[in-house]
Structure 1
């Protein structure tokens, strides 16, 4: 399948909880004149796009695990496999990255530390040009992915090594979040702030809200999507 890189694309977003939306990804889509369609398979009986109508797939985070025995979670992985077979690019955040990794044959396991809050991540590969060596990202997880065969480790944190991977020009998965902007962070925290309890980062919901969203996170999110969709 020939990609529509450089042309108007249909971006299909899989959103898995009401308070974790596309954030800066939506801004990138609008800046490029693309069309975004947001699906909520956890709520609407597993409704998903078809591979044929997908030019870029975004798989967002959520409270579920790829290891959960739910039909729609398995159907998501079938879609991911179909898109990989068709050379269609995709980006996954947190649970979304875990779904991609699992399709690529890597395990999803309990992380060595529960990370909830703001913490630095460190660049481990220069395959994507001009990314900063260190960034501060929002973490909201206690599981992690293995690095799939054929993928490169992209980011690590102080507590969890496997924080990001890049699989050719086909897929990028991040265990943390670059996509939330200020309003998104507030939405995440006011609804799910209790999840910060027992985090190894030792940040309260108030601490997380008080921290400004780093301006470079939007820029890096744009760089990652540009890399996936470059001609």
Structure 2
């Protein structure tokens, strides 16, 4: 499979997703549309990963609209899609649903709770890295997948092919350090009350990679 990855800031990379790609013998192609303006073609995309970033789907930028055009084509073709944070918001907005301010700005480590057993083997509770202050509306065709104590709409699953998460399971320890040292001013005002040092000193839960792999396995399995 050709896995096309849309990365939207230097400090939010694919993390453990690349390990999954290599484990399965796939090929990954990482695009940086915010910098170079290029996107893959739908016909050359066997799976699309849309990562997080500091922008909003509501921003009036040509490449953001072009991303949604690509997402719409892939939804029509039933191609597997995974979106993290901004990426999940882009999927929801492509489907005609709103992206709005969340009830609380969440930056740091906090639990999320599984809301459906549609994806087999996911734990009832996990500790995820949050880095957001907006949230998506759950598409009517989708199921609520995760919620947190402060924000209900934390994840959705759609049609065995699409998963969007408002938070991050993909970062490994190096990725967390990169996020914090480059984007630490964003931590201010978070309802989680964690400092940069608090976030850095919290180990990445080993089960997060396992769950990330289960999600990617699920959306790429034959129906």
Determine if the TM-score, normalized by the shorter chain, exceeds 0.5: yes
How many angstroms apart in 1 are the aligned matches of 2:156 and 2:96?
A: 13
Does the alignment pair 1:29 with 2:21?
yes
How many angstroms apart in 2 are the aligned matches of 1:194 and 1:13?
A: 26
Deviation at 1:170, TM superposition (A): 2.0
How many angstroms apart in 2 are the aligned matches of 1:194 and 1:158?
A: 24
Task: Tell me if structure 2 keeps the 8 A contact 1:108–1:145.
Answer: yes
Deviation at 1:134, TM superposition (A): 0.1
How many angstroms apart in 1 are the aligned matches of 2:151 and 2:95?
A: 20
Point out the more displaced range, 186-195 or 113-122: 186-195
Give 5+ residue unaligned stretches, structure 2. none
Counterpart selection for 2:174 from 183, 186, 205: 183
Task: Look up the match of 1:63.
Answer: 54
Task: Tell me if structure 2 keeps the 8 A contact 1:13–1:36.
Answer: yes
Task: Look up the match of 1:105.
Answer: 96
Instruction: Give runs of aligned pairs for residues 5-44 of structure 1, distance below 5 A.
Output: 9-44=1-36
Deviation at 1:42, TM superposition (A): 0.1
Give TM-score scaled by structure 2 length.
0.99
How many angstroms apart in 2 are the aligned matches of 1:156 and 1:87?
A: 26
- Residue by residue over 1:74-127, the C-alpha shift from the partner in whole angstroms, topping out at 9 and shown as x without a partner, is 000000000011110100000000000111121000000000000000000110
Deviation at 1:52, TM superposition (A): 0.2
How many angstroms apart in 1 are the aligned matches of 2:148 and 2:7?
A: 25
Deviation at 1:151, TM superposition (A): 0.2
How many angstroms apart in 1 are the aligned matches of 2:171 and 2:159?
A: 25
Task: Tell me if structure 2 keeps the 8 A contact 1:50–1:79.
Answer: yes
How many angstroms apart in 2 are the aligned matches of 1:230 and 1:149?
A: 23
How many angstroms apart in 2 are the aligned matches of 1:149 and 1:39?
A: 30
Over 3 Å off, 4+ runs:
none
Task: Look up the match of 1:53.
Answer: 44
How many angstroms apart in 2 are the aligned matches of 1:136 and 1:129?
A: 18
**Matched residue count:** 222
Task: Look up the match of 2:196.
Answer: 205
Deviation at 1:193, TM superposition (A): 1.1
How many angstroms apart in 1 are the aligned matches of 2:15 and 2:101?
A: 27
RMSD of the alignment, in Å? 0.5
Give TM-score scaled by structure 1 length.
0.96
Task: Look up the match of 2:68.
Answer: 77
How many angstroms apart in 1 are the aligned matches of 2:98 and 2:168?
A: 20
Task: Look up the match of 1:228.
Answer: 219
Deviation at 1:165, TM superposition (A): 0.2
